[in-house]
Every structure is written in C-alpha cells, then in structure tokens.
Amino acid sequence: IGDRIRNYNMRVSMHPDQFVLLNSPRPDVVSNSTAELLYHAKVLNLMKLDGSAKIQIHVGGVYGDKKEASRRFIDRYNAVPEAIKERLVIENDERLYSLSDCMAINYETGIPILLDVFHHSILSDGISFADSLSLSGSTWSDEDGIPIVDYSTQQEGARKGRHTDSIDLHNFTSFLEKSLPFNFDIMLEIKDKEKSAEAAIRVARKDERFQVN
Ligand SMILES: [Mn+2]
C-alpha cells in the first residue's frame, strides 16, 4: 500500500482514538498513550512513508488548570521517542485548546499544528480565518510536507461541534475561495467518507492548487 500511496500522491494521516492523552495526570494513561503512538508510527514506517505522513492528536484535557496541563503536554512530548516526534502533530479543538493555545505549545516544542477549520470557527480567540491558515501553516517544515487542514461543518440540529454527515458543497466552495493563496492538503472529517470526498474532488478540481495525478 505504501507504493500505491506514493504513486497516487496521496497524503496519509492517522488519528488515534480519544484515549491517547499525553497530558493526563495519570502515569498509566501516559505510558499507554505513548505505546499507542509508537504503534501508529511503526505502521507508517512499515508503509515506508516519509515524514509528511502524520499522526494527529488533540492536546488533551485541561484537568482544572490549562497552563499546568499544557506544561505537562510539553514535557511529555519532549520525552517521547524520536519516531513519534517525526510524525506527531496537534490539532486545535472546539472546547479546550484553541489555535492560540496550540501555538503556545508549538513555541516551546516546534510541534506542527494541524488547523481544524470547523473547530476554529467555534473557538477562534479572535484569530481571523486567514491568520489561522497563516499561523498554523508556519509551523510545518519542509520535512513535514505542506500543512494538513481538517475540514468539516456543523451537523444541523446536532450538538455544537458535531461533524456533518454529508459535505456542504456551498460551504466547501467558499472555504476554498477564502483560503487563497494558502496551500495545504485537506482532510475531510465527514461521516459518509468517500461519498463526500468524491463530491469535494469535483469542486476542488476547479482550483489550481489541487493536483490530480
Ligand atoms: Mn479535526
């Protein structure tokens, strides 16, 4: 599958489950999380993918003190094996760790930030859409590849933050327009997966940033 992915110029990113919490106060949770991240790194290594294949996680819980919890994240990140560091990225969430919170962690660790545009629209700390792309994009090095951006929208009638079941093409079109001139790979976080991906590709083909092999 590694060759297939390289030939088709596909980008791979894995998202371990929500039980991966590097900043947990519980040592057993931290060691289990590290083992889980190492497993993900090994899978991507076995697929012979370069450093642009990422493992994305949220920063984690706040546990009553965000400053302290961020500090723990930084310390734990600094202590993980290099194989994890080469691939680990953090994404902003819609309740606890905004893009600016992630930027503070990036400042101390250099960890790339994957921008989740949907989460950012809910918890922005006043950072504009253009600035959110520019700031998060600046945290990716050449070895990391072009930035990855998570895209989705709100499922109507569901709790705030719930990803939509099916892509909103009107919103997606305006998202692409507004995101010029920034370049990034798009990860759709949409429940019906391939169905929405195919619809999104039809729209994205009209955008010169989108490359089709
Ligand atoms: Mn996301």
| pLDDT at residue 89, as a whole number | 98
How far, in whole angstroms, is CA 93 from its chain's centroid? Answer: 10
Under the phi-then-psi rule, with left for phi > 0, alpha for psi from -120 to 50, and beta for the rest, what region is 187?
beta
Integer Cα distance of 213 and 211 in angstroms: 7
> Which of residues 191 and 114 earns the better pLDDT score?
114
Highest mean pLDDT among 109-113, 156-160, 202-206: 109-113
> Which of residues 137 and 209 earns the better pLDDT score?
137
Q: What percent of the chain has pLDDT over 90?
A: 89
End-to-end alpha-carbon separation of the chain, Å? 17
Domains of the chain, first to last: 2-204 (3.20.20.150)
pLDDT band at residue 169 using 50, 70 and 90 as cut-offs? very high
Q: What percent of the chain has pLDDT over 70?
A: 94
Q: What is the pLDDT of residues 42-76, one digit of tens each?
A: 999 999 999 999 999 999 999 999 999 999 999 99
| pLDDT at residue 10, as a whole number | 77
Q: How far is the CA of 116 from the centre of ligand 1 (A)?
A: 5
Ligand 1 ion local residues (Cβ < 5 A):
116, 150
Residues 6+ positions from 29 with CB-CB distance below 8 Å: 19, 21
- Provide mean pLDDT across the span 110-119: 98
- Residue type at position 88: L
Q: How far is the CA of 32 from the centre of ligand 1 (A)?
A: 22
- Provide mean pLDDT across the span 82-101: 98
Q: How far is the CA of 46 from the centre of ligand 1 (A)?
A: 25
Identify which of 185, 213, 182 has the alpha carbon closest to the alpha carbon of residue 200.
Answer: 185
Is the model's pLDDT at 99 over the cut of 90?
yes
- Provide mean pLDDT across the span 110-128: 98
> Looking at the chain, how many residues does it have?
213
Q: Supply the Cα-derived Rg of the chain in whole angstroms.
A: 17
Q: How far is the CA of 198 from the centre of ligand 1 (A)?
A: 19
Is the model's pLDDT at 90 over the cut of 60?
yes
Name the residue with tokens 């600035």. 131
Say if residue 161 is exposed, middle or buried (CB neighbours under 10 Å; 0-12, 13-18, 19+). Answer: middle
Q: How far is the CA of 91 from the centre of ligand 1 (A)?
A: 7
